[in-house]
Amino acid sequence: MATCPTCSLHYDAAATGGPCPRCALAGALTAANPAGTADYEFLGELGRGGMGVVSLVRQRSLDRLVALKVIAATGDATGPARLLREARAAAAITHPHVVAVHEVGQGESGAFIAMEYCEGGDLRARLKQGPLAPRAAATLGLKLAAAVARAHALGVLHRDLKPSNVLLTGTGEPKLCDFGLSGSVAGTASEHTRTGILAGSPSYLAPEVLSGADPTPALDLYGLGAILYESVTGRPPFTGDSPAAVLAQIGTTEPVAPRRLSPAVPADLETIILTCLAKDPAARYASAHALWADLENFLAGRPIHARPPSPAGRLGRWARRNPALAAALAIIATGTVAATTLLVERNHQLHAALARSEIAEADARLALRDSLFAQARGVRQSGRTGQRHEALRLLRASAALAGPTAAIRAEALAALALDDWQWGKPQAVPHLRFSQLVGFDSALEHAAVPAADGTTIEVRRMRDGQVLRHLQTASASRVRETRYAPSDAWILAESEDGTQAVWAAGATVPHWIHQPAGIQYVGLDFASDDSGWWYTTTGNQLMWCDARTGTGHPVGDPGTTIYGIKPSPDGTRLAVLRDDGLELWQLRDRQLLWRIDGDVGSAAPAWTPDGHHLITEAYNGSPQIAVWDAADKRQVLTLRPGNMRASRFAMLPDGRRLLSLDTDSVLRLWDITAGRELLRGQAGPHGLRLSADGRQAAGSSSFQQLARLDLAPLDVVQPLGFALGQNSGLWRQAAVSPDGRWLVGQSTTFLRAYDLPQHRETARYRYAAGKTKALAFLPDGGLLYSSPTLGIRRTRLVDTPAGPGWEDHAELAAPGLAQLQSIDRAGRHWLIDRPDTNGVWLWPDGDATRATALGSADSTIIQRLSADGRWAALLTTLPATEARLYALPGGERQAALPVSGATLAEFSPDGEWLVLGTAEGFSIHRTSAPTQPAHQFKCPVPGALYGYSTFSPDGRRFAYMHELSAVAFAQPGEWQPDLILTLPHEVQRTAWAWAPDGETLYILSGRNEGYALRPAAAAAALDQLGFTPPTP
């Protein structure tokens, strides 16, 4: 980012080529109209092209937003001439669906045209989100056809109709713009065309343009057809790798029928579109009005006048593409009885040609399907906003061509695992200033917006922007910020002179007013129970106001400027952000707990939902986001957002994700447990508030635009938010309690308990480091864990007044004497490694006195019991590398199965199947006949975590690591994966455990990450997308 030395605007110098856009605009306006230049206030750049720049400006005299197109003087008169031609053409057309022209001028610095501002963007950007519904597309086409008919009636051709030249208002109404290539209805081919420079965009050019034919109204009919085509299919009629490839198709190739790309398109609408796109101008509609009439007939349910091509017409088109065979066919048709043999031969040739055409078309459909799929994967991996929605749109288009393949289904599930957001329909507030912040109620249905006069507040409805009431302030100064109380009982506002006011819900006059002296910035916020609010008074003294009495009470002593205040979620502490540091206060006795000196920014702090951590900005040579431990003020995490400072924080209820808004209006989503930026996108500067469930936010989608932000739900692959600052090493074991409440993970040094209903880590226990061997819950809720440094221990998770914790850590076997390797579901059989006897033993009910020897500990590397207690598997290296199967309780060896390299063993819950996994793939054996594998398959990526696999407790699902970031689910006995869930990030090491009901598989990955995988939710999501696999 660069800063203009003249006007101090921050702008992207690379995008503008160096000059400041505000000053460049002012120069153009001054040269064109020196007296009137002050009437335009630069607000931002809307777009930039090869010939000029379009800016958003405010026309002060009429208090309206205007789009200003400026073409700089370069010595070439083509640009200004085209701009003036556009202005004159558009100004001649008065129509509700043509962009209005307000003013035009030309001077030494360039030419400009002031036009109506359409806040909804253009149709091309809208279609990137997905095709329109057929009726919506027809309605849009009806309005555009009416606008074109009006232009033709006035003798004006547009000649460059395409989605990017259709602007949308805030309510979605279309308006035609960019008449820069326009000409008269009775005109001839332009000089551009005569010299070989094609007027228009290649994908939307009519065939007659290629031959240099004089333009006619049929040219615009083709453009309208191209717009309709893309509106219902999501792509232009012709696409290619280069403009030349597109142009080669226009004259010789028929567009793919819309219903082949989108089966939901009605046949009549397809006929209307293809009539507009006819190669022969004479075969199109006679006029734009005729097209308008047919679209009106379609929308009203009446018969349309256009007819699909007859068989003869289709044959004619085929003949133009295949002239040699067409000539032969003509000879046959005019032959005599003596030519019967030739007729039969030529018919064979004709059928063969048609068959080849059908094969080529099928190949093209498959190629398009694969291309859309590849594009979807690229979008999914792009890391930009809209990645999830755009990838799913492309996958739907791909599936429409040849059905939902397994790859499409897997890619769709990978998209559903992504964090993403999407702005809703914006509400324009043209009078908002950049520095004004807007408050939103808890339901995100209303906003308290500073009014145009600057000193009153409008309570607006977010759905339609309607102003419901005005709040009167007690200050002549401009309102700087508003906010709602947590339960919407109060609205609070701050003015630029420091005046603070509070209104009760529904009131229009203030309930409380405070006017301090000599302070510029004030910190304001409500108590979490709406019992009062904190405010700032003279001398930067922090105060508490009781809502019942309206009286103020000091908190601490006066100090430096207060920028932000935030109470903890439980209401017991208060974080105060001052100009020179961060303070944490105990509210019960109003005592300062601690203080951090330094530059911690000006954005109000945020708390994690559990109240354990605070988030602020921290400046250390460059802007950073700091996460502080509220207990001891340690900085446990640093996030680096770039070069711009933060203006807003919002912590999501999952305790894992954080939204931050930069001063340059970049919105970022962070995973603070992993220290990773998940997503970023452009937003506006006017505030941010989350819904209680964290699935929506309200804020500004851009400057002077208020909107809702939908955060994509993560229902298929749900991340788990573990506690911050716990570098406990890689996960090695995981287990879920019988009641489904606790997920416990084990590393070499820690036990960490995650409360699944509360979605947060609640207890941890550190012990002497050692390679863990087993972690298992007993049916009574007791937890067994083991390592060489621990022996075997038993503990239990319990609720205490201080919160969840460990009941005890009883030693069942001393370190060095015994290590637990595996245990069955009922806790009846324990598989034990005894270093003192160099043996592997089976302990019935954990009783060492009734032990049965199974093998040598020295040569055994992996040991596993089946959940039903009927089988044991030992992976040994001496005298050979093999998997040995033992029947329990007697311990008789049933088989010795040769294996290669590192191998993991897993039993199905009923003991019917034994799965041996290696770095290369899986071998599946029936325990009743184990010698020969019943099924084998290889991993798509060899080395994917060395053959990890697991069965659900009910035995209905088999899961295995498919790739380094993907888990495949299959039905036991079938083994072919029916679901593949891709994690957002590659796993470093896997520990996993099923919920008792078998509906969720929990995966612990890396050092501080975990995920809940829900295969049933994944299948339901695919069904909802229409990706249900065909029935065999």
Is pLDDT at 586 greater than 90 in this prediction?
Answer: yes
Give residue-wise pLDDT tens across range 381-416: 887 888 898 899 999 988 888 788 888 999 999 999
Q: Which residue has the higher pLDDT, 976 or 41?
A: 976
Rounded mean pLDDT of the chain?
Answer: 83
* Single-letter residue type at 986: E
The residue-averaged pLDDT of 1002-1025 equals 88
DSSP string spanning 656-680? SEEEEEETTSEEEEEETTTTEEEEE
Is pLDDT at 457 greater than 80 in this prediction?
Answer: yes
If one counts every other C-beta atom within 10 angstroms of the C-beta of residue 90, the result is: 27
In a domain, 779, yes or no: no
The residue-averaged pLDDT of 153-158 equals 86
Are 508 and 561 contained in the same domain? yes
Give residue-wise pLDDT tens across range 778-827: 999 999 999 888 889 999 999 888 888 998 899 999 887 888 989 999 99
What is the pLDDT at residue 481?
Answer: 92
| Inter-residue contact 85 to 180 (CB < 8 Å) | yes
Are 405 and 426 contained in the same domain? no
- Tokens 């910020």 correspond to 481
- Count of positions (residues) in the chain: 1032
Q: For the chain, what is the radius of gyration of the CA atoms?
A: 35
In a domain, 206, yes or no: yes
What is the pLDDT at residue 145?
Answer: 94
770's tokens: 């050692």
Are 582 and 439 contained in the same domain? yes
- CATH number of the domain to which 566 belongs: 2.130.10.10
Is pLDDT at 993 greater than 70 in this prediction?
Answer: yes
Tell me the backbone φ, ψ of residue 609, rounded to 5 degrees.
-55, -30
In a domain, 197, yes or no: yes
- Tokens 């209104």 correspond to 503
**Structural domain tally of the chain?**
4
Q: What is the DSSP letter of 208?
A: H
Give residue-wise pLDDT tens across range 869-879: 999 998 887 77
Task: Give per-residue burial for 871-891: e unless 16+ CB within 10 Å, then b.
Answer: bbbbbbeeeebbbbbbebeee
Q: DSSP alpha helices (H): ranges in 436-509? A: none
Are 299 and 385 contained in the same domain? no
In a domain, 368, yes or no: yes
In a domain, 656, yes or no: yes
Give residue-wise pLDDT tens across range 504-513: 999 999 999 9
| Inter-residue contact 648 to 603 (CB < 8 Å) | yes
Are 578 and 701 contained in the same domain? yes
* Single-letter residue type at 601: G
- CATH number of the domain to which 267 belongs: 1.10.510.10
Are 384 and 512 contained in the same domain? no
Q: Which residue has the higher pLDDT, 545 or 861?
A: 545
User: Which of 254, 276, 308 delimits the end of a domain?
Assistant: 308
Tell me the backbone φ, ψ of residue 368, rounded to 5 degrees.
-65, -40
- Window from 67-76, 140-149, 482-491 with minimum mean pLDDT: 67-76
Are 369 and 392 contained in the same domain? yes
Is pLDDT at 186 greater than 60 in this prediction?
Answer: no
Q: Which residue has the higher pLDDT, 1015 or 312?
A: 1015
Q: Tell me the pLDDT band of 35, cut-offs 50, 70 and 90.
A: very low
How much is the pTM?
A: 0.64
- Window from 172-186, 389-403, 863-877, 945-959 with minimum mean pLDDT: 172-186
Is pLDDT at 201 greater than 70 in this prediction?
Answer: no
In a domain, 858, yes or no: no
What is the pLDDT at residue 1015?
Answer: 95
3-state secondary structure 522-586: CCCEECCCCCEEEEEECCCEEEEEECCCCCEEECCCCCCCEEEEEECCCCCEEEEEECCEEEEEE
| Inter-residue contact 700 to 709 (CB < 8 Å) | no
- Window from 118-132, 552-566, 722-736 with minimum mean pLDDT: 722-736
Q: Tell me which residue range forms the domain holding 98.
A: 2-116
CB-count exposure of residue 598 (10 Å: 0-12, 13-18, 19+):
exposed
What is the pLDDT at residue 135?
Answer: 93
Are 466 and 585 contained in the same domain? yes
The residue-averaged pLDDT of 413-434 equals 91
User: Which of 94, 116, 138 delimits the end of a domain?
Assistant: 116
User: Which of 116, 133, 154 delimits the end of a domain?
Assistant: 116
Q: Tell me the pLDDT band of 519, cut-offs 50, 70 and 90.
A: confident
What dihedral do alpha carbons 161, 164, 170, 174 form, nearest 10°?
10
Are 496 and 412 contained in the same domain? no
Taking the alpha carbons at both ends of the chain, their separation in whole angstroms is: 57
| Inter-residue contact 618 to 599 (CB < 8 Å) | yes
Q: Tell me the pLDDT band of 343, cut-offs 50, 70 and 90.
A: low
Are 382 and 431 contained in the same domain? no
Are 214 and 290 contained in the same domain? yes
Q: Binding site for ATP: what residues are annotated?
A: 69
Q: Tell me the pLDDT band of 199, cut-offs 50, 70 and 90.
A: very low
- CATH number of the domain to which 41 belongs: 3.30.200.20
Q: Binding site: what residues are annotated?
A: 69
In a domain, 563, yes or no: yes
In a domain, 852, yes or no: no
Q: Tell me the pLDDT band of 856, cut-offs 50, 70 and 90.
A: low
3-class SS of residue 316: helix
Are 563 and 506 contained in the same domain? yes
